[in-house]
Amino acid sequence: MIRTLPLALLFLSAAGVAAAQTQDTSQQRVLLAGNAPSVCKMDAPTSGGGGTVQFSVSSSNAAELNFQALANPTTAVAQAAQVTVSFPVICTGAHSLTVSSTNGGLTNPALPATGFATRVDYALTAQWAADQRRFQTVGSPTSLNLTESDGVAGNLTVAIAIANGVLPLVSGAYTDQVVVQFSATP
């Protein structure tokens, strides 16, 4: 009996060590991560035209405004007209907008004739987010620029206004290209 006491103490001690090494709660953690890139997406104009300006969309990145009454039918002088075109745009981060006129006005490639005009200038106003920019064509390529420091979703509106002219216009086709470009910025 003298030897049983130290043996019993030994077993109890072993059980105590085992309990300290186990755990009744265990956990793991997993990080899920993704990235939404900074990009711009612009759809074809959804509205525009009206009055004597005919509007048509020819593809997802091209549309046409046709001023059907560019000149007064009795004087051949340019007559005032205005049209607004809306572009649905989403830029998910900082970005810039550039609107440019390739010809710097509606131009007729015909040779100029004394007392006649071959170009019809216009004012273009772009409204995007809370900002507005404007340019007036004067016969050479021109553009406006606008930057935003964060994402914006909405409609860019581009208003083109032609004022009454002075000289009669040489007959023929008058064209210009307005290029609207959004770019995500780093």
Partner 1 sequence: MSFTPAMSLFFATATLATLGAGLPAQAAPVTLTVTSAVANLCIVGPAQVNSGGATNLGVVSGNTVNIAQLTNDQLTTRATAFDITFDATCNAAHRVTVTSERGGLRRDQTGGNHPGFADGVPYTTRFDWDSSEATLLAPAQSLSEVSQNLDIGAPAAGSLVLHVTIDAGATNLVTNSPLIAGGYSDTLRVVMQVQ
| Site residues, partner 1 (CB under 8 A) | 1, 3-4, 7-8, 11-12, 14-15, 18-19, 22-39, 41, 90, 92-93, 150-154, 184
Q: Pairing between strand 53-59 and 106-107?
A: unpaired
Least separation in angstroms between CB 31 and partner 1 = 5
* Nearest to partner 1 of 35, 114 (CB atom): 35
For 64-125, give the DSSP string: EEEETT-B-TTT-BB--EEEEEEEEEEESSSEEEEEEESSSSEE--SPP-TT-BSEE--EEE
In angstroms, give the least distance from the CB of 1 to partner 1. Answer: 6
99, exposed or middle or buried, with CB in 10 Å at 0-12, 13-18, 19+?
buried
Nearer to partner 1, 39 or 77 (CB): 39
Task: Give the nearer residue to partner 1 in terms of CB position, either 27 or 140.
Answer: 27
Q: Determine the distance from the C-alpha atom of residue 76 to the mean position of all C-alpha atoms in its chain, rounded to a whole number.
A: 37
Min separation Cβ 56 and partner 1, Å: 25
The least distance separating partner 1 from the CB of residue 39, rounded to whole angstroms, comes to 7
Edge-first strand order for the sheet with 142-148 is 142-148, 95-101, 178-184
Among residues 35 and 74, whose Cβ is nearest to partner 1?
35
